[in-house]
A and B are shown apart, each in its own frame.
Chain A
């Protein structure tokens, strides 16, 4: 019988369950290694070589090199682990979270200052909230994209 996964219909959200964790084991353990200052230095000096020491998939390595956190999460990464990459880059949690929405840092910070993202329209896939797939990327990046298509 299939496992109960009632959380697959939430937009813009990947639940880090046992299956994701299995897929992301080496990616996340690479992130853990960045808790040591000497490893952070080695990674900063030559990222590709450091990544090649880990049995990660090529797609996972590329997502790290691109700092594409959404892709990292899709490939089994978890934000608390991925935060070690952000820390190595001198980024805050807010900068990291914001980067996944397509908004600029200022846009995301302003959204938080104004009470954060509303849950309305963002509970289930198929609604019309700002986190839905049809509204990505968010912020000025999304507006530019739409203008470009016209």
Chain B
């Protein structure tokens, strides 16, 4: 049986990718940020999973306004880094896990979440920046990755509650897969940021840190935060934080199906917060299932 060993949460700012690709991580502006991920890269080497289920959002790259899926699961064998206008990032092609992805798609749809199945897709910084932050600059990514894209571009995006429930369904799907795979689930995006209008540059450290506290200790309460609170308190793009709830909902302390009590709370192995990366507050957590 496959199982979820840990969840990872991180912002996915494009400028972080640029800093890595151009070898600028030790510049004074960037050094404090990358220092916060040094532990994470070592942890990743010691805890390399077989598959990462990577929840992210596409930024008008694979999905234009022609088709806007709320939840899309990448079932292909590989996913190429996209040209987002500055040329493709010089990072390895992402290798998928079609067998597990297809299994998850079938199981989760049977649990009443209408996923869009994607068999051909390029991936943008939303997916590749978290991989770079956690894995550095390898020739090949250390494991397979299942991209899971959530619409947070066109309102209304899915509610935190629904994302949390979806996480539960994904956990049930993974735990019903017959091969003994170690799977990590990552939630990316956020934290507070706004990229538009006269309110551009908004950062709310208090909201962000309360969100981190709540996500760790009382995820059910975090899942009840309404859209408008994210937008008003954390900026129009802060709404990306709903994606973190998918990963959190998949952890073993969250009650799921016949598992009425839920397991032990996860172990917080790393927590980091930094302002700014370009326009954005960067938050990062690693939670291990006990």
**Do these two chains interact?**
yes
A residues contacting B by CB (< 8 A) are: 6-7, 10-18, 21, 24-25, 28-29, 31-32, 34-37, 40, 69-70, 73, 78-81, 83-84, 86-88, 92-94, 96-98, 100-102, 108, 111-113, 115-119, 122-124, 131-133, 135-136, 138
Q: B275 interface residue, CB < 8 Å from A?
A: yes
Contact of A101 among B64, B155, B201, B236 (CB under 8 A): B201
CB within 8 Å for A100 and B202 given contacts A29-B64, A93-B278: no
Extra A-B contacts (11), CB below 8 Å, given A119-B202, A122-B199? A7-B232, A10-B232, A12-B199, A28-B60, A32-B64, A93-B279, A97-B279, A100-B196, A102-B198, A115-B203, A124-B232
| A-facing residues in B173-228 (Cβ within 8 Å) | 192, 194-205, 207, 227-228
Cβ of B61 within 8 Å of any chain A Cβ, yes or no, is yes
A-binding segment of B33-41, B82-90, B160-168: B82-90
Check B91 for interface membership: any CB of A closer than 8 A: no
Known: A28-B60, A94-B278, A116-B276. A16 touches B155 (CB 8 A): yes
CB neighbours of B22 from chain A (8 A): none
Chain B proximity of A40: nearest CB distance (Å): 7
Give how many B residues have a beta carbon under 8 Å from the other chain's beta carbons: 45
A117 touches B64 (CB 8 A): no
Contact call A7/B59, Cβ cutoff below 8 A: no
A21 touches B154 (CB 8 A): yes
Given A13-B236, A78-B60, A87-B85; A136-B198 close (CB under 8 Å): yes
- Chain B residues in 8 Å Cβ range of A131: 197-199, 202
Q: B250-290 toward A: CB 8 Å interface, digit per residue (1/0)?
A: 00000000000000000000000001101101000000000
Known contacts being A78-B60, A115-B275, is A123 close to B155, with CB within 8 Å?
A: no
The CA of A7 and the CA of B275, in the complex, are separated in Å by: 26
- Complex Cα distance, B64 from A12, in Å, reads 25
Please determine whether B201 and A98 come into contact, CB atoms closer than 8 angstroms: yes
Known A80-B153, A88-B85, A92-B15; judge A12-B197 contact (CB<8 A). yes
B83 in contact with A35 (CB, 8 Å) = yes
- Closest residue of chain A to B202 (Cβ to Cβ) is A117
